[in-house]
């Protein structure tokens, strides 16, 4: 329209701002301070059930802010919250660091999504890293809210703070006295309370700040979340049918040719392909997997942009777009199946590693995404797709963490070695340089190995677990079980002049 004002750059961001945000209450501040103290107490010694306790405390702080804003929990928010708690249970169950870190990041993302409550793609994807840009604004929010507040509840809050300080002093004094009077009481109090020292103050202070600021960040979201669903994403410029369809037809033909070749390989032509390439079956499987994984991801990118620029003026245009994109997704499933088949064959030939297991899980999730895209193309309503895609990804992270990746890797390698011992003992081998780098989760499976392989596989794990176990809130079940096994049958020191028995038992190591 002539003379209409041009919207300024960034209007879509301002439109996502909340219409109002409830002020921070003293209860929110108190919840943040108490959670910070819990973080300083529980997190210093490691991860374990303490994450579940801190997650519950953080949920309480966010719930207080949400209630002050008049918000009520919705079904999808409950789903995201329960899945976040399931992710926080991973460090309490297993000892491996990588799944625990992935689970914590996923739990923070899901908590942010639960508080924002989006439905469309912007409303589901943009909130995931929301805690990162809430930390500083949340501190300003609390300061301004407290500065404007007349504080009529000061008479109730100050006595509570005084009572907490007196209780802390009394528990410290009498706890020290009881610990000196009875060894059993000293052991109990030692497990329940941290061993404080001046050298620990900086680390615990940082944990206090981290815990308090995290609660304030989620409370800031709950008091007034961004409405990312209001983000306007204008459709791309519509292309002519031939201009748009020709590249997709060519790509579909290439995918179809690959699918036919793979069908020939599966039906018995693999030996001919291997003889022509001059590669072994293991090399053929390994070389092709990464390329196929990249193709899978790039296909998702192509589908996204092709959907944006697809012709949509007439029903015939929309039908052509749906057919070509649907066919590309179906053929992409054949690529996913081929990648999974190659990796499965490679694992059967060379054993399982952490990386191989992770890429298997990611490839399965990508296949599920293509199935969801096909279902969305067949359905009339697709509003469910963004949340279900994120739900599938987070479920994959939760399953990957809760199933114990290191335990599965060790179990597969040990079972494969035992099977080889029964069939042909002279050729039975196990990649010790792979399994001995696993965490305590692998100890039950590695304990079944014969000597010297058993001691070689458990030496590094035993060194990591050497010493006293941590307090109950920082100890996982896998580490406790591994300590029991290693206490009953400690690894034998197999050091020998020149070369160790582990060197003699070790095998060629495949880096990935």
Q: Which backbone phi and psi does 310 adopt, to 5 degrees?
A: -65, 145
- Residue 90 has a pLDDT of 96
Q: What is the enclosing helix (H) or strand (E) of 165?
A: helix 154-181
State pLDDT tens for residues 341-367.
888 878 877 889 998 899 899 999 999
Tell me: do 226 and 261 sit in the same domain: no
Residue 4 lies in a domain: no
- Residue 411 has a pLDDT of 96
pTM: 0.84
Residue 102 lies in a domain: yes
Tell me: do 181 and 37 sit in the same domain: yes
Q: How many CB atoms lie within 10 A of CB 12?
A: 15
Tell me: do 346 and 469 sit in the same domain: no
Q: Which of 353, 383, 403 is the last residue of a domain?
A: 403
- Of how many residues is the chain composed? 512
- Pick from 142, 51, 42: nearest CA to 94: 51
- Residue 133 has a pLDDT of 87
Residue with the larger pLDDT of the pair 287 and 296: 296
Residue 8 lies in a domain: no
CB 191 within 8 A of CB 64: no
CB 81 within 8 A of CB 111: yes
| Domain count across the chain | 3
Which residues make Cβ contacts (< 8 Å) with residue 246, sequence separation at least 6?
Answer: none
Q: Which of 377, 403, 429 is the last residue of a domain?
A: 403
Residue 302 lies in a domain: yes
Q: What is the mean pLDDT of residues 109-134?
A: 92
Decide if pLDDT at 242 tops 70: yes
Q: Which of 26-35, 139-148, 277-286 has the lowest mean pLDDT?
A: 277-286
According to DSSP, residue 57 is labeled H
CB 286 within 8 A of CB 346: yes
Rounded to the nearest integer, the mean pLDDT of the chain is 84
Residue 511 lies in a domain: no
- Residue 92 has a pLDDT of 94
Decide if pLDDT at 181 tops 50: yes
Tell me: do 35 and 171 sit in the same domain: yes
Q: What is the mean pLDDT of residues 169-193?
A: 73
Tell me: do 226 and 270 sit in the same domain: no
Q: Which of 230, 256, 284 is the last residue of a domain?
A: 230
Tell me: do 436 and 303 sit in the same domain: no
Tell me: do 205 and 157 sit in the same domain: yes
Decide if pLDDT at 237 tops 50: yes
- Pick from 220, 45, 227: nearest CA to 127: 227
State pLDDT tens for residues 367-386.
999 999 999 988 878 889 99
Question: pLDDT over 70 for what percent of the chain?
Answer: 83
Residue 386 lies in a domain: yes
Decide if pLDDT at 300 tops 70: yes
Q: How many CB atoms lie within 10 A of CB 154?
A: 11
- Residue 247 has a pLDDT of 93
Q: Which of 110-114, 153-157, 469-473 has the lowest mean pLDDT?
A: 153-157
CA 278 to chain CA centroid, nearest Å:
40
Residue with the larger pLDDT of the pair 160 and 479: 479
- Pick from 310, 331, 337: nearest CA to 247: 310
According to DSSP, residue 5 is labeled P
- Residue 234 has a pLDDT of 75
CA dist 358 and 82 (Å) reads 23
CA dist 123 and 125 (Å) reads 6
Q: What is the mean pLDDT of residues 256-277?
A: 70
Tell me: do 221 and 290 sit in the same domain: no
Tell me: do 270 and 398 sit in the same domain: yes
- Residue 112 has a pLDDT of 96
Q: Which backbone phi and psi does 166 adopt, to 5 degrees?
A: -65, -40
Residue 5 lies in a domain: no
- Residue 350 has a pLDDT of 81
State pLDDT tens for residues 81-121.
999 999 999 999 999 999 999 999 999 999 999 999 889 89
CA dist 243 and 272 (Å) reads 39
Q: How far apart are the first and last CA of the chain?
A: 60
Decide if pLDDT at 421 tops 80: yes
Q: Which of 68-77, 178-187, 350-359, 431-440 has the lowest mean pLDDT?
A: 178-187
Q: Which structural domain, as residue segments, surrounds residue 362?
A: 241-403
- Residue 499 has a pLDDT of 40
CA dist 68 → 25, 27, 220, 223, 500 (Å)? 8, 10, 11, 7, 66
pLDDT band at residue 266, thresholds of 50, 70 and 90? low
């Amino acid at each position: 329209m002539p003379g209409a004002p041009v919207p300024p750059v960034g209007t879509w961001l301002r439109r996502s701002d909340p219409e109002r945000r409830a002020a921070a209450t003293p209860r929110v501040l108190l919840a943040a301070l108490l959670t910070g103290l819990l973080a300083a107490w529980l997190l210093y010694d490691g991860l374990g059930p303490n994450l579940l306790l801190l997650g519950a405390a953080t949920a309480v702080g966010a719930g207080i802010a949400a209630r002050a804003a008049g918000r009520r929990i919705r079904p999808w928010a409950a789903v995201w919250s329960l899945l976040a708690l399931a992710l926080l249970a991973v460090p309490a169950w297993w000892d491996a660091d990588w799944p625990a870190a992935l689970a914590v990041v996923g739990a923070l993302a899901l908590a942010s999504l639960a508080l924002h409550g989006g439905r469309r793609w912007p409303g589901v994807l943009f909130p995931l890293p929301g805690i990162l840009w809430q930390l500083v604004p949340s501190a300003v929010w609390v300061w301004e809210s407290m500065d404007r507040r007349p504080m009529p509840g000061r008479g109730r809050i100050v006595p509570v703070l005084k009572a907490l300080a007196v209780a802390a002093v009394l528990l410290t004094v009498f706890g020290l006295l009881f610990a000196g009077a009875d060894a059993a009481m000293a052991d109990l109090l030692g497990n329940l309370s941290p061993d404080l020292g001046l050298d620990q103050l900086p680390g615990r202070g940082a944990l206090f700040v981290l815990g308090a600021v995290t609660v304030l960040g989620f409370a800031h979201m709950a008091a007034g979340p961004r409405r990312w669903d209001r983000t306007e994403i204008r459709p791309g410029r519509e292309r002519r049918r031939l201009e748009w369809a020709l590249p997709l037809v060519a790509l579909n033909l290439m995918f179809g040719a690959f699918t036919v070749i793979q069908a020939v390989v599966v039906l018995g032509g693999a030996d001919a392909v291997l003889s022509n390439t001059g590669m072994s079956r293991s090399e053929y499987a390994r070389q092709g997997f990464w390329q196929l994984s990249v193709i899978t991801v790039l296909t998702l990118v192509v589908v996204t942009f092709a959907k944006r620029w697809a012709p949509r003026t007439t029903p015939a245009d929309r039908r052509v777009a749906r057919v070509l994109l649907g066919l590309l997704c179906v053929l992409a499933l054949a690529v996913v199946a081929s990648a999974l088949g190659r990796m499965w064959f490679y694992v059967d030939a060379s054993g399982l590693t952490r990386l191989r297991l992770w890429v298997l899980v990611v490839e399965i999730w990508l296949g599920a995404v293509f199935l969801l895209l096909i279902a969305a193309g067949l359905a009339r309503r697709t509003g469910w797709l963004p949340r279900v895609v994120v739900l599938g990804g987070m479920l994959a992270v939760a399953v990957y963490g809760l199933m114990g990746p290191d335990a599965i890797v060790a179990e597969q390698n040990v079972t494969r070695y035992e099977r080889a011992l029964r069939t042909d003992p002279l050729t039975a081998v196990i990649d010790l340089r792979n399994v001995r780098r696993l965490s305590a989760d692998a100890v039950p499976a590695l304990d079944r190995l014969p000597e010297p392989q058993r001691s070689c596989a458990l030496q590094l794990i035993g060194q990591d677990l050497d010493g006293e176990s941590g307090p109950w809130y920082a100890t996982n079940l896998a580490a406790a079980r591994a300590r029991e096994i290693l206490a009953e049958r400690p690894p034998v020191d197999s050091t020998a002049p020149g070369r160790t028995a582990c060197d003699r038992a070790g095998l060629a190591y495949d880096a990935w």
